[in-house]
Structure 1
Amino acid sequence: MSVRNVLMFAFALFSAAMLGLAAGAVWMVATLYLRQPLPWLAVPIGALLAWAIRGYVRSAGIGAGLLAAWATVLAAIYVNMLIAGVLIAGNMGMDLIATLRTAGTGMLWQLARMAWSPADVGWTALATLLAAWLAWRAPRKPARAMASGK
């Protein structure tokens, strides 16, 4: 394995992580705006992550599928950790950034894990499988392009 391949893999992993964290933050905004949990939102988030990773980070295949699945799981974990931070911030009268720094990832992870329901797990599993499948398969060519040989 060459240095270039290792660097490309590290960049793809970093890009997928950033996409997953951004998707989790958008998911949190929707959840807070509607004031109710939205575990089903994992499915469209997973599809969007798959298309973004397949289109811009890695070409279709097993690598893109694994990255999309990982980004989807990361988004689901991150949204629950952010929601736990928002709840703590609201109860303690602190701002979100100070709460996230004070609570730390360990406490936020434990609170997020305790708040996960079977519906959360089911929707996340479905979204992860969908994201992996969408990123793994090559996009279909339009009928016009196939007829002209392009």
Structure 2
Amino acid sequence: MSSPMSVRSALLFVFALFSAAMLGLAAGAVWMVVSLYLRHPLPWLAPPIGALLGLAIRGSVRRPGTGAMLLAAGATALAGIYVNMLIAGVQIAGNMGVGLIDALRTAGPGMLWQLARLALTPADVGWTVLAVLLAGWLAQRAQSRR
């Protein structure tokens, strides 16, 4: 029989994981909107988004430490993957003359992932790695008191 504390810890972990994933997806969607508005990919937005995710996770989802660091790094990586997959979906939708939701549904995650991977440049990867490191660093360090 499991103790109430271990069940509570497991539920808190699942909630933190879910929250970090939702923050990452939301950040990726906002990043896509800005990229589409300016009509070109903006890989340099990865570090500011990573910083925001690191601070948000440290402040709201998990106390500073290793857990917050891993959640923030994962959420930032998820945002980077998601924005590239969404942009691939937008390009498919534009080329095929269908709506974004229809294009995403028809293409499926496998095709979107392959198209996103083909469009990646070394600069994109570099900005994303920098963002993941920044998010993790900000999430793991204790908040300074003023």
* Equivalent in the alignment of 1:145: none
User: Where do 1:37-76 residues align within 5 Å?
Assistant: 37-76=41-80
Task: Count the aligned residue pairs.
Answer: 142
Deviation above 2 Å: which 4+ runs of structure 1? none
CA-CA distance at 1:37 after TM superposition? 1.2
Q: 2:141 — aligned with what?
A: 137
TM-score scaled by length of structure 1: 0.93
Q: Which residue of the other structure, out of 126, 133, 140, is the alignment partner of 2:130?
A: 126
71, 83, 86: which one pairs with 2:87? 83
Give RMSD over aligned pairs: 0.7
Q: Is residue 16 from structure 1 mapped to residue 20 from structure 2 by the alignment?
A: yes
**Structure 1: 5+ residue stretches without partners:** 143-150
Q: Deviation digits for residues 28-73 of structure 1, max 9, x if unmatched?
A: 0000000111001000000000111001100100100000000000
- Please report how far the alpha carbon of residue 123 of structure 1 lies from its aligned counterpart in structure 2 after TM superposition: 0.2
The alignment partner of 2:48 has SS state of helix
Matched with 1:30 is 34
Find the aligned partners of 1:90 and 1:37 in 2 and give their Cα distance: 16
TM-score, length of structure 2 as denominator length: 0.96
